[in-house]
Every structure is written in C-alpha cells, then in structure tokens.
Amino acid sequence: MFLFDSIPWQTWVMWFVVLGALIGLNEVTRRWKWAAIAFFVALPLVLTIFVWPTTSGPGTSTGTWFHWVKVYSALAGCLGFMALRYVGKLSKSRWMLLFPPVILVLNVCEAVARDIQVAGLQGMHDGVFMVGGVWNYMNGAAGILNALCVCGWAGIMVSRDKSKDMVWPDMLWFWFIAYDLWNFAYVYNCVGDHAFYAGAAVLISCTLPAFFLKKGAWLQHRAHTLALWMMFTMAVPAFVTSSRFAVQSSHNETALFVVSAVSLLANVALAVYQVRTVVTRRRNPLRDQVFTHLKAYRVVVEENAPLDATTGAVREDRPLATV
C-alpha cells in the first residue's frame, strides 16, 4: 500500500473498534460530569503514579518528551474546558475564554517543533523509525498557518442543553478539516508507525461528532479523544508497535511528501479564504467573530445560544463573551 504496509481484515476490524470506543467514550465524558472527572482527573493520577513510569520510560516508543507533554497538555485542555462548562462565571470572562485558543495553539506549536526536529533524523530514534526530509518543514509551515487562522474565540459559549458543551461557532468545518490534514501529516511524518490509529482513527473520532453529534464542539471532542488515546498508548505502547494489530508505515518518501503537500495546500487555501473574509467584511480576527455570515455559523448559534426568557428566541443582545 502507498501509506502503510499491508493491513489484514482483523486489523481493519480493530481500527473500527478503536474509532467506536473513542466516539463512545467522548459521548459519555461530555454528557456526564462524573464520567469526565473519572476519566480526566482520577484515571490520569493513577496512571501517572503506577503505570506510565514503567510503560513509557526512556527508550520506549512513547517515552519521548513529546508524548509526555502531549498527554498532559491534552488533559489540561479537558480540565480547562470542564471549568468553562461547569463553573458558571468563568464562561462569562473574556480572559478565561482565551484558554481554549491558547491551549490549542500551544498544542499545534508542540507538533510543529517536533516536525522540525524530526527533519534531521534518519533511522530508529526513541523506538520509532524516522525518515526526515523537506516534508517536515512543509508540514511545519502548514501547522503555523493553521494556528494563525484560529479566530472568533470571543464567541465561545456553553451550550444551553443538559450536556453543557463548550461550543465555538467560528471554528467551522473548513478550519478543522485543514487541521485534520495537517495533524495526520504530522503523525505520519514523526510517528509513522502509529499513524494508522493515532492519525486516522483519532482524528476521525472527533470530526464525525462535530458533523453529526454535536456541531460547534469540535475542540472539546478533539481534547477528549486525544487525551483518551494518549492515556491508552502511554499505558499500552505495544498496541501500536508490536501487537498483532499494529500497522507499520510504508516509510515511502513519496508518500511522506504527498501527505505534507496536501496538508500545506489545504492550510494555504484556509489562510487565503480567511484573509479574504477578514478584508472584505472588515473583521478583526483577534476580536471579532469572522464567519457570522455563513449558514453553518448561524446553525451552531441557534442550537446553542441562550434564549430570551420572554420570547424564547435566541438572544441577539448577549455580550460577546457569552455569544
């Protein structure tokens, strides 16, 4: 195969099991606060003390600085989003609303730094086979563009339904599809032998819910599914490296180049579209919500924004911090 070595049917079945488990656990942890506390507070404490020091120590495929930073930054995102969702006053603070874009951009920057680091590596490093090259720099540029296109943070709100999701109306499908392409390329470039699961399955597990289960909550879906996956692979690294279900990358330089080229082109297109929108509609991406003219934006607002107590209609006079 172009991207990976041969994939037997049993492994495809396991891929769908992983995908279904991540989507299912994301639904559980977003709908019930007790489940979120169990998975994102209690479980990580147990794993940090009793499991990860052994399973993800130096020399293992998950023992690099990046894996440790990534698991805790994903968990920090989950906890910060929980604070916004469940502590009422925080969702009305413009300063607290900076947390989602900041943690998101920091995560992108971590990956960009790793992509650039891997560019000069060849062969086995930290238990992972590396094929560094120009594709790492291409994808690093795509990641920077993706981070620069984060906008509309002042419109983040807590949904009015029982699940109290953190909803970001301006984070629409074209941004997170470009993110998915960039992030898959990052995983394929830097941890290629994990990419069948950590790239494809994990990214799809947050993207499908953003289209079909809870629109506008992509970043919350992403934090939950990424944290769940990172905790699992840190505890059971053999699953993606040496188990019967592991899938090796082809390590094909053409495949590496193509994947990063698609990522870069998608994020260039995203940046061009956003700049055009900002200029023609005179929006300030650091202050304003940029895509208010799009139907997809209005759907998210109408489904989640607070309602007027008298008329029952979506409140149009609400402050930006609560959209």
DSSP string, 161-227: STT--EE-TTS-HHHHHHHHHHHHHHHHHHSGGGIIIIIIIHHHHHHHHHHHT-TT-HHHHHHHHHH
Contacts of 38-43 with CB under 8 Å at 24 or more apart are 39/227, 39/228, 40/75, 40/78, 40/79, 40/82, 40/224, 40/227, 41/79, 43/231
Q: Of 261, 116, 128, which is closest to residue 192 (Cα–Cα)?
A: 128
Q: Which of 76-90, 114-128, 189-203, 258-272 ranks highest by mean pLDDT?
A: 258-272
Q: Of 223, 229, 147, 206, which is closest to residue 182 (Cα–Cα)?
A: 147
Q: Are 85 and 168 in contact (CB under 8 A)?
A: no
Instruction: Please determine, for residue 129, whether its predicted confidence score (pLDDT) is greater than 90.
Output: no
Instruction: Please determine, for residue 279, whether its predicted confidence score (pLDDT) is greater than 80.
Output: yes
Q: How do residues 169-211 score in pLDDT, each as one tens digit?
A: 999 999 999 999 999 999 999 989 999 999 999 999 999 999 9
Type of residue at 77? G
Q: Are 211 and 173 in contact (CB under 8 A)?
A: yes
CA distances from 5 to 13, 52, 129, 160, 253 (A): 16, 29, 14, 46, 14
- DSSP secondary structure of 93-111: -TTGGGHHHHHHHHHHHHH
The whole-number pLDDT of residue 58 equals: 77
Give the confidence band of 24 by pLDDT, cuts at 50, 70, 90.
very high
Instruction: Name the CA dihedral angle for 120, 124, 128, 133, rounded to a multiple of 10 degrees.
Output: 30
Q: Of 105, 111, 73, 108, which is closest to residue 190 (Cα–Cα)?
A: 111
Instruction: Please determine, for residue 241, whether its predicted confidence score (pLDDT) is greater than 90.
Output: no
Number of residues assigned to the chain: 323
**Where do the domains of the chain lie?**
9-306+314-322
Alpha helix segments (H runs only) across the chain:
9-31, 33-37, 43-50, 52-55, 65-86, 99-118, 134-148, 173-190, 202-212, 218-235, 238-241, 253-280, 295-304
Give the confidence band of 318 by pLDDT, cuts at 50, 70, 90.
very low
Burial of residue 295, with CB atoms counted within 10 A of its CB: 0-12 exposed, 13-18 middle, 19 or more buried: exposed
Query: Could you tell me which residue, 244 or 313, shows the higher pLDDT?
Result: 244
What is the mean predicted confidence (pLDDT) over 2-27? 96
Give the confidence band of 315 by pLDDT, cuts at 50, 70, 90.
low
Q: How do residues 53-84 score in pLDDT, each as one tens digit?
A: 999 877 777 777 778 988 999 999 999 999 99
The whole-number pLDDT of residue 130 equals: 87
What is the rounded radius of gyration, in angstroms, for the C-alpha atoms of the chain?
20
Instruction: Please determine, for residue 313, whether its predicted confidence score (pLDDT) is greater than 70.
Output: no
Q: How do residues 211-220 score in pLDDT, each as one tens digit?
A: 999 999 999 9
